Amino acid sequence: MAKKKFKDVLKDKSVIANKVKIFSAVQEKSKPKKIKKKAYNKLYNKELKQLQIELVKLQEWVKHKGLRVVVVFEGRDAAGKGGAIQRIAECLNPRVCRIAALGKPTEREKTQWYFQRYVAHLPAAGEIVLFDRSWYNRAGVERVMGFCTHEQYVEFLRSCPEFEHMLQRSGIILIKYWFSVSDEEQERRFQKRIENPTKRWKLSPMDLESRARWVEYSKAKDDMFAATDTTLSPWYVVEADDKKSARLNCINHLLSMIPYEDLTPEPIKLPLRQKAMDYIRPPMCMQKFVPKKY
């Protein structure tokens, strides 16, 4: 097994980080409209591919060391959380990296300890869990929309840091991201969802209500940060007005948060195909085939 020295891995990660900075700088000086779209996408795809290769190395290190990793993704509606999660998970083994996107609690879950249904989705050794929204629903949508009492909200702000520190003391690596998007950009993305039939499902009545209560959500976010942005479990804000830049920056930062080594195995050689044996396959007419429409 080819094992790269840790200092060499750090060097590679430094190179990737510099490339991401260059990508962001290009965007600041020359917005995508001024750059040929094809060239812009080519640069993005090149950097994304390199970062995804590093994610695979991180995955192998997590398996090798039996690490338990939790990554929380929160933020405004249409801020790009789902896109970032997809780019992280699509190149990884779903048995190692899984997405936890919980729906609204059942009547039974409403009577449980608030954190209980999230605990069931925490990782075992050698696993990574990406929370597409999390226990922070109580500090955001539940508070603003009145789905919890004031006492429940206050208790959450008091107990959440304790809960997260307890996870960390147990050995779980916890990383929290907040995706920030401007008022104008959110409106543009909402409008695109309205116009696109394949994305219209993303726009729920709750999303529309959150748009109407923009200021209330801003205050709820600020109060949440004041109570839960701790030294041991800080929030990392991802500026997400440009989705592609946000994805690259988020993945690059995630890689920098967990020291890992390159455990890429030696080149794989396919074995020879089994030779013919005394076996007659059944006739093709006995099988049902999908019609060749395309």
Does 15 have pLDDT greater than 70? no
Does 268 have pLDDT greater than 70? yes
Minimum mean pLDDT among 27-41, 103-117, 235-249, 261-275: which range?
27-41
What's the rounded Cα separation, in Å, for the pair 178 and 135? 13
What's the rounded Cα separation, in Å, for the pair 123 and 96? 9
What's the rounded Cα separation, in Å, for the pair 78 and 10? 33
Percent of the chain with pLDDT over 70: 88
Q: CA dihedral defined by 88, 91, 93, 98, rounded to 10 degrees?
A: 20
Contacts of 215 by beta carbon, 8 Å cutoff, 6+ apart: none
pLDDT tens figures, 273-292: 888 788 888 999 999 999 99
pLDDT of residue 20: 61
> Hey, where are the domains in the chain?
6-264
Listing from the earlier edge strand, what are the strands of the sheet with 127-132?
A: 97-100, 127-132, 68-75, 172-180, 235-239
Q: Is 212 helix (H, G, I), strand (E, B) or coil?
A: helix
pLDDT of residue 277: 81
pLDDT of residue 34: 56
Does 1 have pLDDT greater than 50? no
| More reliable by pLDDT, 267 or 253 | 253
Mean pLDDT of 189-207: 89
State how far the alpha carbon of 276 is from the alpha carbons of 268, 270, 272, 284, in Å.
24, 18, 12, 19
pTM: 0.85
Does 28 have pLDDT greater than 60? no
Does 130 have pLDDT greater than 60? yes
Environment class of residue 122 by beta-carbon count within 10 Å: exposed (0-12), middle (13-18) or buried (19+)?
middle
pLDDT of residue 12: 61
pLDDT of residue 37: 83
Percent of the chain with pLDDT over 90: 74
Minimum mean pLDDT among 6-20, 39-53, 89-103, 127-141: which range?
6-20
pLDDT tens figures, 31-65: 555 557 888 899 999 999 999 999 999 999 999 99
Locate tokens 């929290």: which residue?
176
Class for the domain spanning 6-264: alpha beta
Minimum mean pLDDT among 18-32, 66-80, 189-203, 213-227: which range?
18-32
pLDDT of residue 205: 84
Q: CA dihedral defined by 137, 138, 142, 144, rounded to 10 degrees?
A: -100
**Mean model confidence pLDDT for the chain:** 90
Does 6 have pLDDT greater than 50? no
Does 13 have pLDDT greater than 70? no
